[in-house]
Amino acid sequence: MPVGDGHVLYVEEVGRPDGVPVVFLHGGPGGGLVPAARRFFDPERYRAVLFDQRGAGRSTPHGEVRANTTWHLVADLETIRRRLGIGSWLVFGGSWGTTLGLAYAQAHPQRVTGLVLRGVLLLRRAERDWFYQGGLRHLQPEEWERFVAPVPPGERDDVLAAYHRRLHGPDEAQARVWARAWGRWEAVNSSLCPDPELLAHFTADEHALPVARILSHYAVHGGFLTEGQLLDGVDRIRHLPAVIVNGRYDLCCPPVSAYDLARRWPEATLRIVPGAGHSAAEPAIAREVLRALDEVTARVESPAGEPGHGEPGHPEAPLAGSAG
């Protein structure tokens, strides 16, 4: 699906054409879809829309950061929704997907029927400092040493900026070395226990550099958000049903962000999952996410059995590579 600025998105639909519309927002930014994401959606109940965000996965150009901001992605969501003829949909986001989901819902609350948010990331300064400036070293000292090893001592006052310069610099070989270090840091903190397959994926040459470039691009710019913007905008969506799920020992997205969001959004349900980390693949997180999805869906299903429909589609622009 072309969305402008030279970007073409990979989009797929799965499930029932007359099912409950839901859009899945992957993490990263830049992480892209994994096939297992479809497993959250009962194909007898949902019309699920999944897509690779700009520069991610099968979207092209791969790893591109030009014309790639939160607000470009918000506009892309509207393009996809209109193209598919969906009037409104449930928003399901994990990690960075919670950031994008909140930004989209606050910009277009009339197009959202409810939200399921897993592993809340608000991209405030404190969250970025926790992950990229040494807060997490108290829990991951040996991995932090690996992460900062390439950074000259004179640049360690801003580790994120040092990485960003090399990842986006003219020396491709150097960028790949730094990308592998970046990918390892992301991977070892993405689950309660390190996952060898995830580690291999995050540090593979074909994956590490494009993802690290997009991630660092968004992190350096604070997600293209003002400080606290997503908390300050909660009043625009407080009427929507929502469940927030966060692992108690989530190293990427510590539960304080989910807690702060729930304090500003008392109508939302907050569930902190004991003995769990960040990954949606962890059984305890997966169970709570499925429970949350079921609860929110039950509140948004229409008696007529045709939830969320209402705008004409655009059959002249079919989705390349769509799955049914």
User: What are 213-269's pLDDT values in tens digits?
Assistant: 999 999 999 999 999 999 999 999 999 999 999 999 999 999 999 999 999 999 999
Domain boundary among 177, 199, 222: 222
Q: How far apart are CA 114 and CA 305, in angstroms?
A: 17
265 in a structural domain:
yes
110 and 86 together in one domain? yes
Distances (CA, A) of 215 to 43, 83, 201, 292: 32, 28, 15, 28
* Structure-block tokens of residue 131: 């992950």
248 and 192 together in one domain? no
160 and 90 together in one domain? no
61 and 205 together in one domain? no
Assign 46 to helix, strand or coil: strand
CATH code of the domain in which 64 resides: 3.40.50.1820
What string of DSSP letters covers 214-264? HHHHHHHTGGG--TTHHHHTGGGTTTS-EEEEEETT-SSS-HHHHHHHHHH
199 and 286 together in one domain? no
118 and 50 together in one domain? yes
Query: What is the sign of the dihedral through the CA atoms of 197, 203, 208 and 212?
Result: positive
pLDDT of the residue at 198: 87
54 in a structural domain:
yes
312 in a structural domain:
no
pLDDT of the residue at 302: 59
150 and 114 together in one domain? no
Query: Would you please indicate which residues are annotated as catalytic (active-site) residues?
Result: 95, 250, 278
38 and 161 together in one domain? no
Structural domain boundaries enclosing 151:
126-222
217 in a structural domain:
yes
pLDDT of the residue at 304: 41
51 and 113 together in one domain? yes
Distances (CA, A) of 306 to 20, 78, 104: 7, 20, 23
Residues of the chain with pLDDT below 50 are 303-324
307 in a structural domain:
no
Q: How far apart are CA 175 and CA 121, in angstroms?
A: 26
Residue partners of 51: CB distance under 8 A and separation at least 6: 1, 9, 10, 11, 12, 23, 24, 33, 59, 76, 80
What string of DSSP letters covers 113-140? EEEEEES-----HHHHHHHHSSGGGGT-
258 in a structural domain:
yes
Q: How far apart are CA 4 and CA 301, in angstroms?
A: 33
114 and 234 together in one domain? yes
199 and 242 together in one domain? no
Domain boundary among 222, 239, 270: 222
Domain boundary among 176, 191, 222: 222
26 in a structural domain:
yes
245 in a structural domain:
yes
209 and 64 together in one domain? no
Q: How many domains does the chain divide into?
A: 2
Beta strands in the chain (DSSP E): 2-4, 7-8, 11-15, 20-25, 46-51, 89-94, 112-118, 242-247, 269-273
Predicted TM-score of the model (pTM): 0.93
